[in-house]
């Protein structure tokens, strides 16, 4: 489907092959397999041009936006090598915000711009794992013996 959409957008098997980094024959075979799977002709082909059939046009209109949305979602969820991406959820007592968190937060955000930091300020002792936190700041005498502490 991805290959077919590239051919439809570029109106060229050769252009789609160049964009996708594969051979023109591989593009042609992929489109042919999709047409066989659907039992319909998606593209009119001549030696000089490519155009969409009615079925091909409908497929582009109906599947194209969904595939583009999926590609955008995958891109948004991916990271470059060495890049840190995600969400960091911390449980922090009020006193620790100004003493420990505030002094390092802006430098952390600058270094890891794709990390979303959720700081939940609370005085109660929580089960960090059971409540979905990544870490918590506590005085060492309040930490359970089986918890990892730094």
Q: Which CATH number does the domain housing residue 38 bear?
A: 1.10.10.10
CA angle in degrees (0–180, nearest 5) for 143-146-149: 50
Q: Residue 117 belongs to what domain range?
A: 86-142
What is the spatial distance between Cα 115 and Cα 84, in angstroms, rounded to a whole number? Answer: 7
* 33/68 same-domain check: yes
pLDDT of residue 75: 82
pLDDT averaged per 10 residues, the chain (length 150)? 94 95 96 96 91 95 91 83 88 90 93 92 84 85 68
pLDDT of residue 139: 74
Furthest CA-CA distance within the chain: 79
pLDDT of residue 142: 66
pLDDT of residue 84: 87
């Amino acid at each position: 489907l991805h290959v077919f959409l590239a051919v439809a957008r570029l109106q060229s098997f050769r252009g789609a092959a160049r964009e996708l980094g594969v051979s023109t024959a591989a593009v042609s075979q992929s489109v042919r397999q999709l047409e066989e799977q659907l039992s319909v002709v998606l593209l009119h082909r001549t030696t000089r041009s490519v155009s969409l059939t009615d079925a091909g046009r409908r497929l582009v209109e109906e599947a194209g936006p969904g595939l583009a949305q999926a590609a955008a979602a995958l891109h948004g969820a991916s990271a470059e090598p060495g890049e840190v991406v995600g969400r960091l959820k911390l449980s922090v007592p009020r006193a620790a915000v100004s003493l420990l968190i505030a002094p390092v937060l802006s430098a952390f955000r600058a270094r890891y711009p794709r990390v979303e930091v959720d700081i939940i300020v609370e005085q109660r002792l929580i089960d960090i794992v059971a409540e979905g936190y990544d870490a918590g700041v506590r005085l060492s005498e309040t930490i359970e013996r089986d918890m990892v502490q730094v």
